[in-house]
């Protein structure tokens, strides 16, 4: 063979450095990818985005914040252990131990470090890397490196690039070093002291994942990864519990009874080394630590070479996964007709859920663990007080578990399709109908939790009062609403085609969903019934609005360049109503600041400014975005619109008058009526506002945008009822019923004439009649 000189292999240290660098580079890319996605940015055609500067700033802030958070927990843990194990007399409850630690304290810290060490191993194992179909060792062995050197390189890179290990061990190490008197050199001392533990964690991780890869198929690996992720969270919670203001009793008991021999294992030896009073003792402990870790590494590498004695072949290759005897179904053998629950899509989703333990744990187990851990850590749940928990707390727990479940499942309906999403583009079904079926399925599954919580509550409390039943109704109503919200937000918050697991979700939308779910708890905790109704109706409307936006987006889901044309939608109506009320509030606040009281003309002016601003702004936005379906006031058939307006106005006004007379006859709300009549007779501006300004601006928002938006997705009747309900709930409780009637009449008039003139006239007539009656009564 001729040619140039052959390339020589990299030296041992160079190989270690290259592999470590590769791992760190990958970690850095993953972190920056998570934070660098612009909100709402659409995917470009190019495979990789252009480099963006200053990405590291966000990552650095997050890392700093996490270190601070863990540091604070570690500090509080040290304080708690000191208080529980040393019983300092007369010391402040926030006192830290200092100098030479007591025997009890050393054992306590050794226990905490042992738990941290387990988290460092489990956390690293629980990453998705274990369940990825590709095993990097399979191509690393093709590099010109001898196996022992390759294994050493792997240990080194996993020692250095172990972010979970660093995050858990470094803050605790720094605190221990600080307490032992190292002060400002403590972080450096800790960084050196934890290296043996990180090396050991890397060894365990490598042994476990290599062994598992060699013997388990990818599907089983994913299931195992799910179990490991739950285990790592549980152990992490145990460690965190030591650093809570009220630590868990049983964990503190572990610390109290940690065996003395445990202090001679590597985690305990790290504590002892850092806390030695003199150099010679410190060196002895350090040498013992190095010896133990050295022996462990030697044994570990021997086991590794035994594991890899037949080469590096993962058990997950296709050949081994193939079933030995293929199942054959002959043409004459028809599957027996069985009763099947749900639709084709729902059955497939359930089948995937049953097989993918990772998905199962994430959707149905983690929410329960998260919510109950929070409750336990906040000290809200103790066996003696279970029966004494308020109904509102029970309802909020029930809703929280359901909301978390929906976030893990319904929110990710598109992500669960993943790269196979194309299949849904090949069938004669709209993507919306598929998502709707999935939303229903997840709503039903998520409803199981609130039901269980309420049943348990009734069993424990031994009775079900009307308040609990009311709360149960609110929660059970909220779950399907939030299933729809989760699926709709998921359309914007998921990237089913993203290659990296971490970039599949856009965190902004996850936070938005959590914030909206949090708002719903106001329906539980609000004191007035009408406030609860307002929250429920608004949440329902929000789900419709978001669903509509998502539906518009769906045909453009996989298109990197196109976006849906601008159309008037329900969400525009919600935004317009909010803008209207905010501007009105600001204007009135300015009047109040200047004149120190609010006169009738101020109300009219504030109302008019808010209405005119909202109207003008929306028209401008619609004009700029070439929006279609903008509601118009006039048009062909004006006479018909006037006729409909007068007719609808008279019907609504008659209903309003009947309502007023009924109130008077039944002697209900008479104080409120008299107060309103006094205000009306004292102020000429209010009639002007009610008969002229209100119809113009409110009709644009409630009929033009909200009803118009709803009408795009619904038949006339549900759209009329829903828009009238929203219109009613933004009015004072005393007038909700007749205003609902006005909403129905006005929406009907608009639907028949397609001109805002009709509902405006109806609204004006209604307000004029009701005001006139109120002042006379």
Partner 1 sequence: MIDFLELSKSYGTFRALAPLTLTVPRGEMFGFLGPNGAGKTTTIRMMMSILVPSGGTVRIAGLDCHRDAAEVKRHVGYLPDSPIFYDYLRGREILQFIGEMHGLARTEASLRTERLMSELGLDQVGEEFAVNYSMGMKKKLGLACALIHEPSVLILDEPTNGLDPRASRDVQLRLRKSADQGTTIFLSTHILDMAERLCSRIGIIHHGELVATGSPQELKENVTSGGTLEEVFLAVTAEAENT
51 binds partner 1 (CB under 8 A): no
330 binds partner 1 (CB under 8 A): yes
Name the token pair of 516: 């909206």
How far apart are the C-alpha atoms of 765 and 761, rounded to whole Å?
A: 6
Q: Which is nearer to partner 1, 259 or 321 (CB)?
A: 321
**DSSP 8-state class, residue 661:** H
Q: Which is nearer to partner 1, 342 or 600 (CB)?
A: 342
SS3 462: coil
Residue 10-49 contact track with partner 1, rule CB under 8 A, x = bound = ----------------------------------xx----
- CA proximity to 722, closest of 530, 575, 574: 574
Beta-carbon contacts of residue 476 (< 8 Å; ≥ 6 apart): 447, 450, 451
Residue 662-701 contact track with partner 1, rule CB under 8 A, x = bound = ----------------------------------------
Binding part of the chain for partner 1, among 60-68, 340-348, 469-477, 667-675 by CB under 8 A, reads: 340-348
How far apart are the C-alpha atoms of 504 and 419, rounded to whole Å?
A: 11
Q: Which is nearer to partner 1, 2 or 46 (CB)?
A: 46
Name the token pair of 184: 């400002």
Give residues 482-511 in contact with partner 1 (rule: CB under 8 A): none
Q: Which is nearer to partner 1, 280 or 323 (CB)?
A: 323
Helix (H) or strand (E) holding 624: helix 600-624
CB of 547 to partner 1, least distance (A): 18
Q: Where are the alpha helices (DSSP H) in 494-599?
A: 507-525, 529-553, 570-595
Residue 124 in contact with residue 236, Cβ under 8 Å? Answer: no
Among 291, 344, 473, 592, binds partner 1 (CB under 8 A): 344
Q: Which is nearer to partner 1, 356 or 698 (CB)?
A: 356
628 binds partner 1 (CB under 8 A): no
CB of 417 to partner 1, least distance (A): 8
Burial of residue 32 (CB within 10 Å: 0-12, 13-18, 19+) is middle
326 binds partner 1 (CB under 8 A): yes
Among 87, 348, 382, 502, binds partner 1 (CB under 8 A): 348
Q: What Cα–Cα distance (Å) separates residue 337 from each residue in 57, 334, 340, 617?
A: 60, 8, 9, 60
Residue 555-584 contact track with partner 1, rule CB under 8 A, x = bound = xx-xxxxx----------------------
Crossing angle for the helix pair 366-377 and 391-408, to the nearest 10 degrees: 140
Residue 133-172 contact track with partner 1, rule CB under 8 A, x = bound = x---------------------------------------
Name the token pair of 166: 């660093």
Among 283, 352, 386, 684, binds partner 1 (CB under 8 A): 352
SS3 494: strand
How far apart are the C-alpha atoms of 442 and 575, rounded to whole Å?
A: 28
CB of 41 to partner 1, least distance (A): 13
356 binds partner 1 (CB under 8 A): yes
Give residues 537-556 in contact with partner 1 (rule: CB under 8 A): 555-556
Tokens 């061990």 correspond to 169
Among 337, 384, 527, 665, binds partner 1 (CB under 8 A): 337
How far apart are the C-alpha atoms of 481 and 304, rounded to whole Å?
A: 53
CB of 352 to partner 1, least distance (A): 5
CB of 763 to partner 1, least distance (A): 37
527 binds partner 1 (CB under 8 A): no
Size of the site for partner 1 (CB under 8 A): 48
Give residues 379-438 in contact with partner 1 (rule: CB under 8 A): 417-420, 422-430
CB of 735 to partner 1, least distance (A): 45
Q: What Cα–Cα distance (Å) separates residue 73 from each residue in 66, 112, 167, 205, 242?
A: 11, 12, 12, 26, 8
CB of 354 to partner 1, least distance (A): 9
Among 51, 53, 328, 626, binds partner 1 (CB under 8 A): 328
CB of 350 to partner 1, least distance (A): 12
SS3 628: strand
Q: Which is nearer to partner 1, 327 or 466 (CB)?
A: 327
59 binds partner 1 (CB under 8 A): no
From the centroid of its chain, how far is CA 63? Answer: 20
SS3 567: strand
Among 53, 309, 334, 463, binds partner 1 (CB under 8 A): 334
Give residues 290-319 in contact with partner 1 (rule: CB under 8 A): 316, 318
Among 4, 90, 335, 636, binds partner 1 (CB under 8 A): 335
- CA proximity to 373, closest of 223, 253, 241, 203: 241
Tokens 């529980």 correspond to 84
Phi and psi of 736, rounded to 5°?
-60, -45
How far apart are the C-alpha atoms of 575 and 4, rounded to whole Å?
A: 71
The terminus-to-terminus CA distance of the chain in angstroms comes to 112
Residue 642 in contact with residue 757, Cβ under 8 Å? Answer: yes
323 binds partner 1 (CB under 8 A): yes
Q: What does the buried/exposed string (b/e) look like for 659-689 if buried means 16 or more CB atoms within 10 Å of the residue's CB? A: bbeebeeeeebeeebeebbeebeebebbbbb
Among 53, 322, 462, 597, binds partner 1 (CB under 8 A): 322
Sign of the dihedral through C-alpha 214, 215, 217, 219: negative
Tokens 């501006």 correspond to 685
Among 39, 327, 515, 682, binds partner 1 (CB under 8 A): 327
Name the token pair of 102: 């007591």
Among 93, 211, 321, 388, binds partner 1 (CB under 8 A): 321
**Bridge partners (DSSP) listed for residue 628:** 567
CB of 318 to partner 1, least distance (A): 4
Count the Cβ atoms, other than its own, within 10 Å of residue 159: 21
CB of 563 to partner 1, least distance (A): 9
Q: Which is nearer to partner 1, 248 or 424 (CB)?
A: 424
Q: Which is nearer to partner 1, 133 or 144 (CB)?
A: 133
211 binds partner 1 (CB under 8 A): no
CB of 435 to partner 1, least distance (A): 13
Give residues 215-244 in contact with partner 1 (rule: CB under 8 A): 218-219, 222
Kindly list the residues in this chain that would bind partner 1 in the complex (CB under 8 A). 44-45, 133, 218-219, 222, 316, 318, 321-323, 326-331, 334-335, 337, 340, 344-345, 348, 351-352, 355-356, 417-420, 422-430, 555-556, 558-562
């Amino acid at each position: 063979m001729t040619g140039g000189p052959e390339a020589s292999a990299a030296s041992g240290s160079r190989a270690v450095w290259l592999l470590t660098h590769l791992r760190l580079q990958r970690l850095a890319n993953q972190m920056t990818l998570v934070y660098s996605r612009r909100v709402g940015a659409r995917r470009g055609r190019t495979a990789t985005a252009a480099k963006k500067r200053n990405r590291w700033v966000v990552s650095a802030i997050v890392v700093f914040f996490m270190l601070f958070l863990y540091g604070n927990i570690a500090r509080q843990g040290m304080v708690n252990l000191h208080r529980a194990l040393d019983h300092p007399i007369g010391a402040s409850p926030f006192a830290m131990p200092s100098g030479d630690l007591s025997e009890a304290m050393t054992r306590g810290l050794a226990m905490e470090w042992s738990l941290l060490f387990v988290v460092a191993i489990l956390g690293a194992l629980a990453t998705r890397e274990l369940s990825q179909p590709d095993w990097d060792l399979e191509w690393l062995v093709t590099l010109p490196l001898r196996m022992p050197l390759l294994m050493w390189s792997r240990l080194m890179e996993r020692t250095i690039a172990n972010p979970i290990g660093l995050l858990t061990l470094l803050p605790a190490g720094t605190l221990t070093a600080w307490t032992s008197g190292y002060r400002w050199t403590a972080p450096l001392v800790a960084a050196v002291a934890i290296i043996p533990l990180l090396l050991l964690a890397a060894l365990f991780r490598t042994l476990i994942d290599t062994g598992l890869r060699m013997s388990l198929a990818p599907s089983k690996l994913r299931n195992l990864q799910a179990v490991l992720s739950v285990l790592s969270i549980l152990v992490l919670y145990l460690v965190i519990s030591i650093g809570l203001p009220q630590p868990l009793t049983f964990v503190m008991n572990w610390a109290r009874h940690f065996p003395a021999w445990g202090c001679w294992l590597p985690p305990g030896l790290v504590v002892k080394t850092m806390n030695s009073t003199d150099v010679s003792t410190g060196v002895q402990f350090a040498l013992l630590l190095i010896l133990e870790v050295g022996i462990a590494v030697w044994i570990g590498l021997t086991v590794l070479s035994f594991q890899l004695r037949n080469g590096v072949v993962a058990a997950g290759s296709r050949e081994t996964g193939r079933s030995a005897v293929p199942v054959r179904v002959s043409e004459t053998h028809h599957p027996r007709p069985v009763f099947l629950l749900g639709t084709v899509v729902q059955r497939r989703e359930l089948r995937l859920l049953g097989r993918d333990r990772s998905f199962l744990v994430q959707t149905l187990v983690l929410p329960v663990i998260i919510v109950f851990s929070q409750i336990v850590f906040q000290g809200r749940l103790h066996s003696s007080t279970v029966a004494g928990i308020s109904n509102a707390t029970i309802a909020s727990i029930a809703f929280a578990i359901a909301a978390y479940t929906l976030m893990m499942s319904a929110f990710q309906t598109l992500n669960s399709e993943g790269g196979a999403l194309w299949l849904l583009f090949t069938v004669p079904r709209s993507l919306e109908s598929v998502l709707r079926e999935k939303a229903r399925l997840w709503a039903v599954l998520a409803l199981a939790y609130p039901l269980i919580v309420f049943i348990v509550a009734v069993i424990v409390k031994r009775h079900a009062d009307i308040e609990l039943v009311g709360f149960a109704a609110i929660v059970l109503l909220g779950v399907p609403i939030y299933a729809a919200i989760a699926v709709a937000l998921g359309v914007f918050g998921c990237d089913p085609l993203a290659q990296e697991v971490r970039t599949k979700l856009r965190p902004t939308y996850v936070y938005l969903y959590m914030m909206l779910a949090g708002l719903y708890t106001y329906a539980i905790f609000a004191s007035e019934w009408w406030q609860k109704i307002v929250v429920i109706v608004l949440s329902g409307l929000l789900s419709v609005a978001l669903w509509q936006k998502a539906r518009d987006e769906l045909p453009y889901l996989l298109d990197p360049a196109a976006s849906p044309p601008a159309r008037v939608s329900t969400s525009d109506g919600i935004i317009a109503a909010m803008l209207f009320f905010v501007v009105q509030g600001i204007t009135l606040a300015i009047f109040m600041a200047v004149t120190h009281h609010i006169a009738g003309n101020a109300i009219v002016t504030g109302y008019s400014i808010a209405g005119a601003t909202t109207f003008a702004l929306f028209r401008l936005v619609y004009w700029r975005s070439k929006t279609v379906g903008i509601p118009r006031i006039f048009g062909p058939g004006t006479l018909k619109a006037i006729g409909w307006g007068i007719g609808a106005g008279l019907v609504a006004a008659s209903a309003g008058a009947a309502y007023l007379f009924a109130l008077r006859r039944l002697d209900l709300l008479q104080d409120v009526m008299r107060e309103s009549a006094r205000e009306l007779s004292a102020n000429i501006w209010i009639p002007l506002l009610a008969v002229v300004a209100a119809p113009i601006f409110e009709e644009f928002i409630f009929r033009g945008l909200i009803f118009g938006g709803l009408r795009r997705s619904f038949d006339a009747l549900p759209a009329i009822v829903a828009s009238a309900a929203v219109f009613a709930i933004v009015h004072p409780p005393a007038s909700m019923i007749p205003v609902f009637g006005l909403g129905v009449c006005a929406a009907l008039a608009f639907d028949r004439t397609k001109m805002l003139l009709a509902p405006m006239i109806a609204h004006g007539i209604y307000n004029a009649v009701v005001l006139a009656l109120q002042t006379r009564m």
